[in-house]
């Protein structure tokens, strides 16, 4: 089950994540790795500042996705060899909250893209040899 997509204005948001290159079939496994991110935060006595998310940096549905499974944090922190640190830039984002098992994320993502297409959303992205690269994880313009 997913909530209705929306366009939201967001402030800059620090986060920590696990980054991976996965196929669509492997996407659910990356979702299961969010527990590692929460464990990493707990080991450093850091609290999440919001719900976990997927940041799709590169999408090539036929080959591979470059995705980060992330958790927002209050301030920028140093990552390590397992967990990276980053900041989502401020801007307009197309968002949807998915509630369900990771293996249903593909359908939730397809529904978000269809919803955006019906509304004429323009994505802040470029197309290259590796696929479609979102300037900030698929921020809308």
pLDDT number for residue 141: 35
Q: What's this model's pTM, rounded to 2 decimal places? A: 0.78
Tokens (6 digits) for 60: 């090539």
How far apart are alpha carbons 105 and 99 in whole angstroms?
9
Structure confidence by residue, pLDDT tens digits, 16-69: 999 998 887 787 788 888 999 999 999 999 999 998 988 888 777 677 878 899
How far apart are alpha carbons 22 and 66 in whole angstroms?
7
Structure confidence by residue, pLDDT tens digits, 53-109: 888 887 776 778 788 999 999 999 999 999 999 999 898 888 888 888 877 777 887
What separation, in Å, do the N-terminal and C-terminal C-alpha atoms of the chain show? Answer: 27
Closest CA to 91 of 136, 58, 57: 136
Q: Average pLDDT for residues 4-13, to the nearest whole number?
A: 90
Domains of the chain by start residue, with CATH: 6-134 (3.20.80.10)
């Amino acid at each position: 089950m997913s909530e209705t997509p929306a366009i939201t204005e967001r402030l800059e948001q620090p986060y920590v994540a696990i980054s991976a290159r996965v196929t669509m079939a492997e996407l659910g496994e990356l979702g299961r790795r969010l527990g590692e991110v929460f464990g990493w935060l707990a080991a450093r006595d850091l609290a999440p500042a919001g719900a976990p998310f997927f940041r799709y940096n590169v999408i090539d549905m036929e080959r591979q996705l470059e995705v980060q499974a992330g958790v927002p944090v209050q301030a920028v922190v140093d990552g390590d060899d397992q967990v990276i640190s980053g900041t989502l830039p401020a801007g307009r984002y197309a968002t949807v909250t998915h509630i369900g098992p990771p293996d249903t994320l593909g359908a939730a993502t397809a529904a978000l893209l269809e919803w955006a297409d019906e509304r004429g959303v323009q994505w802040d992205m470029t197309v290259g040899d590796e696929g479609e690269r979102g300037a900030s994880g698929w921020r809308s313009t």
